[in-house]
């Protein structure tokens, strides 16, 4: 028999048991999206939701990176955007390769200075947004703003459905 999670996801995304009742046009696409949903999108938001809804919202500091170094272009196709692998140049200040001066400024002011203050336990008034579905974003142009998670309202019901399907008791 299939695990409870697979059964629940199948009912949710394929209510009549066919691809026609899903948002996808081919099984390969359905697999890719479901894999990404469950590995990253739903579980990440479910964790944040659980932390915030159980009294620790003050500990949530969400950050979204949309910036991509020019150093990525020889490794990752530009159409991939700011992927998980491409953000290594942000986290590791070039990851052993020299950033140009413009990119050094973006990485330092848009991310590392704030991250270092967070690690030191300093107050971060420009980061906390008061809601678990909102965070700080480093945009592709190097500017920072407040980001409202456009997938929050889609992913949290999936997370709650999985909790119910697994018999998990929570405050949800």
Tell me the pLDDT tens digit for each residue of 68-112.
999 988 888 888 888 888 888 888 888 898 999 999 999 999 888
User: How far is it, in rounded angstroms, from Cα 139 to Cα 65?
Assistant: 7
Q: Which two tokens stand for residue 74?
A: 């020889």
Check residue 172 and give its pLDDT: 47
pLDDT at 170 over 60: no
pTM above 0.85, yes or no: no
Q: Average the pLDDT over 35-42 and give the result.
A: 91
pLDDT at 148: 93
């Amino acid at each position: 028999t299939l695990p409870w999670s697979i059964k629940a996801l199948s009912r949710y995304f394929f209510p009549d048991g066919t691809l026609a009742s899903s948002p996808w046009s081919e099984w390969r696409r359905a697999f890719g999206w479901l894999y990404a949903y469950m590995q990253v999108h739903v579980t990440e938001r479910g964790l944040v939701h659980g932390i915030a809804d159980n009294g620790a919202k003050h500990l949530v500091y969400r950050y979204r990176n949309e910036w991509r170094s020019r150093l990525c272009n020889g490794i990752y196709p530009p159409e991939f955007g700011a992927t998980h692998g491409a953000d290594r140049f942000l986290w590791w200040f070039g990851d052993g390769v020299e950033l140009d001066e413009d990119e050094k400024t973006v990485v330092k002011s848009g991310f590392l200075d704030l991250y270092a203050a967070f690690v030191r336990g300093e107050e971060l008034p420009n980061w906390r947004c008061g809601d678990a579905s909102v965070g700080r974003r480093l945009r592709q142009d190097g500017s920072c703003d407040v980001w409202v998670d456009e997938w929050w309202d889609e992913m949290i019901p999936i997370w709650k459905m999985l909790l119910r399907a697994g018999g998990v008791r929570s405050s949800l």
